[in-house]
Amino acid sequence: MILEIDNVELYFKEKRILNGIYLKAETGKVTGILGSNGCGKSCLLNIIFGTLKPKYKLVRLDSKPILKPLYKTKLAHFLPQLPIAPNGLKLDTAFKLFKVDWQEFSTIFESFAIYKNFKFRELSGGERRVVETYLLLKSPVKIVLLDEPFSHVAPLYIEVIKQLISEEKKRKIIIITDHLYRDIIDTSDNLYLIKNGHSKLITDLKTLEDYKYISENSL
Ligand SMILES: Nc1ncnc2c1ncn2[C@@H]1O[C@H](COP(=O)(O)OP(=O)(O)OP(=O)(O)O)[C@@H](O)[C@H]1O
């Protein structure tokens, strides 16, 4: 499956945030989005998911325009920057709702095994992020959008999530953004930088320095 987003024009009042965006994501490949604070990464993910309506946009799935927002289909899940699970929801119930196997999760993340009957509010911010990212990645959908899944997450867990992403990409379109750019570079098969409202396909990592996304010699 191939997902493309094209012709995006997003304004907030007179302020132009995005224009000249083209992004292509496909099953079997992770698509990473980089860009500095406020460049429009979260807005772009929301536009793809359908939860933000820009002035113009064109979303195509396998070359056919889709007019229905993705969130109204059963095709996609989106991890925004804020928590998604209600505070009072039990982890066990969430795993059932998302059709994800608790046993497998608690084998991979052994220290979480005790949380089966805990409510989300009883987890730390980072633990919650791990559980929510896992639920979305493992649930049986075709498209997963991840906005800063590594924020507040400990290095060892980040490595586990990166392994999960490379496993799940075989079955899913995965689009991911985070300021931990080394992890995004590691994980992504295709990389875009958003700068001045435009998307730029990055084929040579050195251009991240040329575009002043990172300082010289930091790769
Ligand atoms: N609801 C809104 N009303 C007005 N301006 C907004 C709104 N949402 C976002 N913006 C503006 O749009 C721009 C892009 O925001 P967005 O959250 O997409 O940035 P980002 O690249 O995800 O940033 P960060 O990396 O800091 O999370 C910012 O300048 C922000 O101030």
Output the six-digit token pair for 78. 């989106």
Which residue, chain included where needed, has tokens 């359908």?
50
> Cα dist. 70→26, 94, 106, 158, 172 in Å?
15, 21, 30, 27, 15
Pocket test for ligand 1, best of 11, 12, 36 (most atoms within 8 A of CB): 12
- Write down the domain spans for the chain: 2-210
Confidence at residue 218, expressed as pLDDT on a 0 to 100 scale: 84
Report how far ligand 1's centroid is from the alpha carbon of 47 (Å): 12
> Residue 146: which residues within 8 A CB-CB, separation 6 or more?
79, 133, 136, 137, 174, 175, 176, 177, 178
Confidence at residue 210, expressed as pLDDT on a 0 to 100 scale: 95
Report how far ligand 1's centroid is from the alpha carbon of 15 (Å): 11
Helix boundaries (H) for the chain: 41-49, 91-97, 102-108, 125-138, 155-168, 181-187, 206-210
Confidence at residue 117, expressed as pLDDT on a 0 to 100 scale: 98
Q: Are 144 and 173 in contact (CB under 8 A)?
A: yes
Write out pLDDT tens, residues 98-118.
999 999 999 999 999 999 999
Confidence at residue 219, expressed as pLDDT on a 0 to 100 scale: 81
Fold of domain 2-210 = Rossmann fold (3.40.50)
Confidence at residue 217, expressed as pLDDT on a 0 to 100 scale: 86
Taking the C-alpha atoms of residue 83 and residue 217, their distance in angstroms, rounded to an integer, is 35
Q: How many CB atoms lie within 10 A of CB 171?
A: 13
Q: Are 123 and 86 in contact (CB under 8 A)?
A: no
Pocket test for ligand 1, best of 39, 147, 175 (most atoms within 8 A of CB): 39
Report how far ligand 1's centroid is from the alpha carbon of 12 (Å): 9
Task: List phi, psi (to 5°) of 52.
Answer: -135, 130
Taking the C-alpha atoms of residue 60 and residue 214, their distance in angstroms, rounded to an integer, is 32
Q: What is the pTM of this model?
A: 0.97
Confidence at residue 99, expressed as pLDDT on a 0 to 100 scale: 95
Spans of the chain, pLDDT less than 50: none
Q: Are 161 and 150 in contact (CB under 8 A)?
A: yes
Q: How many CB atoms lie within 10 A of CB 180?
A: 16
